[in-house]
Amino acid sequence: MRAIVFNGETAEIRDDVEVRKPGPNEVLVRVVAAGVCHSDISVVDGTIPWPAPSVMGHEGAGVVEAIGDNVSRVKVGDHIVIGTVANCGICDRCNAGHPTWCKQSIGNRTEPFTVGGVPGGNFAATSSFAEMTIIKEVQAVPIDKEVPLTSACLIACGVVTGVGSVFNRANVQPGDVTAVFGAGGVGLSVIQALRIKAAGLIIAVDTLASKGKLALELGATHFIDASKEDAVQRIRELAPFSADNAEGPFKAGGANWTFECVGHPAVTGSAVESLDWGGTCVQVGVPAPGVTYAVPITHLTQVDRSIVGSRAGGVRAQKDIPVIVDMYKKGLLDLDRMVSKTYPMEDFFKVVDDMHEGKLARGVLTF
Ligand SMILES: NC(=O)c1ccc[n+]([C@@H]2O[C@H](COP(=O)([O-])OP(=O)(O)OC[C@H]3O[C@@H](n4cnc5c(N)ncnc54)[C@H](O)[C@@H]3O)[C@@H](O)[C@H]2O)c1
Ligand SMILES: [Zn+2]
Ligand SMILES: [Zn+2]
């Protein structure tokens, strides 16, 4: 079958990949559509180190092709979104409603594939850049067949991460001042969730002016082109300490919540500096391992500012994905406009180029 394989240096489109049969509690999925998330680019450029060969992709939706023993949640023919967290389902963290804290849910690369006859691994327990893939039953979330799979696939990573960062990792109140750094697939999902939460100001920040239009259409109240303006200063002007003073004592004024959806330490810096007293920066973007950011500690301690991480928005796939589908069907969450373009899987590098040129909210590969 065809698949996109990371060979240690770059991505290769191959037609000599095979997948094994599903074992107990496993599901074989015929992938129909897969979004290209920035984390896929990070695998190719080395920002996210990953062993090779591995079948790439982690934002996918498809149809159940076969099920292994003991699978009861889905049946052959069901449409599913493929959750990326292959948690155990029985540990204390899973039972506490935090599958992203399950110790079995990270670094659990297995080798369900062969690539040219050699054992091939998966990526993020998912490998959605393949005609067929194997996942655990816990990752298979059945959805309504009315939902186009080209839109549904975005839910698997970008949308659960963005929406979950607002719903699960933050506690945004109506009227709050918010700022979102990076208006890509993840940032646009954050913006939509903030609109649903009735945030007061939703300030989108990006270095590409082309990102402004859709950000504003999907819910941002303001757009800052960070290639031309100082984002921190602009945010403080939009949410000043007082009418005649943008910055008060201990840098008062600014945002109650900021979301870093880029993965660059300088952007983390801006997102933390933009916070009002008591504000929280939710760090979503993923830089290379070991990348650090220095923060003046008193900026946090004196007035209760915080930084929290967000792994896939703290997603609980079987609970959160149906809620997201419901919000989509009610017209609250627009997934269709986030699919800028679909491409045959052979055009993976075209998607990467279009992404870098700022032409896409999301590019979606079809199989
Ligand atoms: N924590 C998680 O679980 C998780 C899940 C998915 C993605 N991610 C990470 O989130 C980040 C965003 O992913 P995406 O798929 O939305 O990427 P994307 O490429 O679609 O969007 C990134 C956006 O950031 C903008 N940008 C770049 N530099 C900037 C800067 N200095 N200031 C402001 N904006 C800037 C780009 O123009 C682009 O619009 C990546 O680091 C990705 O690896 C994390
Ligand atoms: Zn992703
Ligand atoms: Zn667990």
pLDDT per position in the chain (367 positions), as tens?
999 999 999 999 999 999 999 999 999 999 999 999 999 999 999 999 999 999 999 999 999 999 999 999 999 999 999 999 999 999 999 999 999 999 999 878 999 999 999 999 999 999 999 999 999 999 999 999 999 999 999 999 999 999 999 999 999 999 999 999 999 999 999 999 999 999 999 999 999 999 999 999 999 999 999 999 999 999 999 999 999 999 999 999 999 999 999 999 999 999 999 999 999 999 999 999 999 999 999 999 999 999 999 999 999 999 999 999 999 999 999 999 999 999 999 999 999 999 999 999 999 999 9
- Judged by its nearest atom, the ligand closest to the C-alpha of residue 91 is 3
C-alpha closest to that of 151 among 328, 288, 357, 28: 328
As a whole number of angstroms, the distance between CA 184 and CA 189 comes to 8
The whole-number pLDDT of residue 315 equals 97
The whole-number pLDDT of residue 85 equals 97
Evaluated on CA atoms 164, 165, 170, 173, the torsion sign reads negative
C-alpha closest to that of 20 among 44, 1, 7: 1
Looking from the CA of residue 37, the nearest atom of ligand 1 is: 15
As a whole number of angstroms, the distance between CA 212 and CA 222 comes to 9
Our measurement of the distance from residue 18's CA atom to the centroid of its chain's CA atoms, rounded to an integer in Å, reads 28
- List beta partners, residue 179: 203, 258
Buried b (16+ CB within 10 A) or exposed e, 169-188: bbebeeebbbbbbbbbbbbb
**Nearest CA residue ID for atom 9, ligand 1:** 285
Range list of β-strands (E), 68-161:
79-82, 113-115, 118-120, 132-136, 140-142
As a whole number of angstroms, the distance between CA 327 and CA 185 comes to 17
The whole-number pLDDT of residue 37 equals 97
CA of 317 to the centre of ligand 3 (A): 13
Residues with C-beta less than 6 Å from any ligand 1 atom: 37-39, 42, 157-158, 161, 181-187, 205-208, 211, 226, 261-264, 267, 284-286, 310-312, 355, 358
C-alpha closest to that of 233 among 247, 252, 223, 215: 247
Q: Both tokens of residue 119?
A: 């054992």
As a whole number of angstroms, the distance between CA 188 and CA 320 comes to 18
Q: Please, what is the Cα angle at 153 between 144 and 67, to 5 degrees? A: 65
For the chain, the 3-state helix, strand and coil shares in percent, each to the nearest 5, are 30, 25, 40
CA of 121 to the centre of ligand 2 (A): 18
Domains of the chain: 3-158+314-366 (3.90.180.10), 170-309 (3.40.50.720)
As a whole number of angstroms, the distance between CA 293 and CA 344 comes to 39
As a whole number of angstroms, the distance between CA 135 and CA 25 comes to 9
Asked if 361 and 339 touch (Cβ cutoff 8 Å), the reply is: yes
Best of 165, 192, 206, 360 to mutate for ligand 1, by most ligand atoms within 8 A of CB? Answer: 206
As a whole number of angstroms, the distance between CA 165 and CA 157 comes to 12
C-alpha closest to that of 290 among 52, 105, 48, 106: 48
Looking from the CA of residue 41, the nearest atom of ligand 1 is: 43
How buried is residue 301: exposed, middle or buried, by Cβ count under 10 Å (0-12/13-18/19+)?
Answer: exposed
The whole-number pLDDT of residue 8 equals 97
